[in-house]
């Protein structure tokens, strides 16, 4: 892996080349999808479960020694895991924008500007919200008759013109964001909760979070709204897209009363256990309504675990650093795909993949052709999902010359100089040190196969 700071100009040139590659790939993908779905003419339901700041190492199936995620582990046993799955940015808003647009943050406008990482937390300060020129996944799926709902955190703009119902979602229960960033010291920030277009309360008030004990019932509310939506679509027979985005593992970390104190990992582990229970309930509901064989469920996270949260943060397994860094701990995410009778069970697929691929793959499965005027950065994963294939590819800021290298911009220096260490207890001399000259003069090259923890840069 090569990391080249301050390479935005290089990335822009690469995007021009990459756009042509993706357009050719998509043309082939839509013809392949017809073959992949023969024998089943109905459009599959699509459920994307996006966790918040959950790390690669938080799941038992990915090696967490606590083994406190039995439902997710069973989901993996019945489906397929992707150990080489990446986000598009190690921060909340840019990664979510990339997932829902299928486009790199540098294309859709949600990329970090180094201004106290504000783009990650409060995008309205920089771009206000997701642009009306961006076509989001629910709007594309609507062309194929899908009904779409988001449950949980939106984080692509908090003003009315930027909210989910303005961008293709038919229903929403959740909040525009879950906090106002690390430089906002409000103990009880004004976080609204919406049911559709109607504000129905606020975090800490009508939807309480006890910051001392970590008790909150929000995950159970998010689960019930998702279950109710699935029930209604089962009655109508309408294909649906459910974007389930709970925020319990993002500070302030919380769990409902019956999960508090049940984990070996403190309040964060309690939150993970509750989310695991919710995933199990959602999969069980698909089974009970006989929707399981026509529903693709994909579980992943928006970015790596936030190591700066200390004991209230998650685990990135063997990988270096976490959220807010472009090391593997910030970019590589847990990923599980589940689709009984379609995805072979118990498989590990080492295909290199990214959250942007979920956009393209969903369109392929729905039979929707994206507008030719909009360059996409995700590719179709159905050959990997349905036929366990792998192939060489370039993703995000990957450059393929004699081999594949990742170009990423190391930023957040202002936060470092203000005393925030995004890699606590994981410092690697000449790699994670706070001295800017150690990072910006030369690329840093790692062989991830031999050195997944990025501790030994190749000189």
Q: Cα(436)–Cα(433) distance, rounded to whole angstroms?
A: 8
Radius of gyration, CA atoms only, the chain? 20
Specify whether 92 is catalytic.
yes
Is residue 226 a contact partner of residue 151, using CB atoms and an 8 Å limit?
Answer: yes
For 220-234, letters b (16+ CB in 10 Å) and e give: bbbbebbbebbeebb
Q: How many CB atoms sit inside 10 A of residue 96's CB? A: 28
Render 216-260 in DSSP notation, one character per residue. --HHHHHHHHHHHHHHHHHHHT--EEEEEE--TTSSSP-B-GGGT
The residues facing 400 across adjacent strands are 404
Q: Which of 116, 155, 250, 439 is catalytic?
A: 155
In angstroms, rounded to a whole number, what is the distance separating the alpha carbons of residues 199 and 87? 30
Catalytic residue at 342?
Answer: no
Coil, helix or strand at residue 388: coil
Kindly report the number of other CB atoms within 10 A of residue 403's CB atom. Answer: 8
Distance CA 267, CA 260 (A): 7
**Rounded Cα gap, residues 203 and 248, in angstroms:** 12
Q: What is the dihedral of CA 275, 60, 354, 238, to 10 degrees?
A: -40
**Three-state secondary-structure class, residue 396:** coil
> By the 8 A CB rule, do 208 and 254 touch?
no
Q: What are 172's strand-pairing partners?
A: 150
Catalytic residue among 92, 321, 396, 423: 92
Catalytic residues: 92, 155
């Amino acid at each position: 892996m090569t990391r080249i700071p301050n390479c935005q100009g290089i990335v822009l040139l690469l995007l021009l080349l990459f756009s042509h590659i993706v357009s050719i790939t998509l043309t082939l993908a839509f013809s392949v999808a017809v073959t992949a779905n023969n024998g089943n003419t109905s459009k599959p339901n699509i459920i994307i479960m996006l966790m918040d700041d959950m790390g690669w190492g938080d799941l038992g199936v990915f090696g967490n020694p606590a083994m406190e995620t039995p439902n997710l582990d069973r989901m993996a046993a019945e489906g397929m895991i992707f150990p080489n799955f990446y986000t598009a940015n190690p921060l909340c808003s840019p990664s979510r924008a990339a997932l829902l647009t299928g486009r790199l943050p540098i294309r859709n406008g949600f990329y970090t500007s180094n201004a106290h990482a504000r783009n990650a937390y409060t995008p309205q300060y920089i771009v206000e919200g997701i642009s009306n020129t961006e076509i989001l996944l629910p709007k594309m799926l609507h062309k194929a008759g899908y009904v779409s709902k988001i449950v949980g955190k939106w984080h692509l703009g908090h003003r009315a013109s930027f909210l989910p119902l303005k961008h293709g979602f038919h229903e929403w229960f959740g909040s525009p964001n879950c906090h106002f960033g690390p430089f906002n010291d409000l103990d009880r920030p004004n976080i609204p909760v919406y049911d559709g277009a109607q504000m129905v309360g606020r975090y800490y008030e009508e939807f309480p979070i006890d910051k001392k004990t970590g008790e909150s019932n929000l995950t159970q509310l998010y689960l019930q709204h998702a279950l109710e939506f699935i029930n209604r679509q089962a009655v109508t027979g309408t294909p649906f897209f459910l974007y389930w985005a709970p925020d319990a593992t993002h500070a302030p970390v919380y769990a409902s009363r019956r999960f508090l104190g049940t984990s070996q990992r403190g309040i964060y582990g309690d939150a993970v256990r509750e989310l695991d229970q919710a995933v199990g309930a959602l999969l069980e509901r698909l089974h009970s309504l006989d929707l399981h064989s026509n529903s693709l469920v994909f579980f992943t996270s928006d970015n790596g675990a936030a190591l700066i949260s200390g004991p209230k943060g998650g685990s990135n397994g063997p990988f270096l650093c976490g959220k807010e860094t472009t090391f593997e701990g910030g970019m590589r995410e847990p990923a599980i795909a589940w689709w009984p009778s379609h995805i072979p069970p118990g498989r590990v697929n080492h295909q290199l993949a990214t959250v942007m691929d979920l956009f393209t793959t969903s369109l392929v499965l729905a039979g929707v052709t994206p507008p030719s005027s909009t360059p996409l950065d995700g590719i179709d994963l159905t050959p990997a999902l349905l036929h366990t294939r792998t192939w060489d590819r370039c993703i995000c800021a990957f450059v393929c010359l004699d081999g594949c290298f990742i170009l990423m911009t190391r930023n957040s220096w202002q936060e470092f100089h203000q005393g925030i260490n995004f890699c606590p207890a994981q410092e690697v001399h000449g790699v994670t040190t706070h001295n800017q000259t150690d990072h910006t003069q030369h690329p840093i090259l790692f062989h991830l196969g031999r050195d997944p923890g990025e501790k030994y840069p190749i000189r």
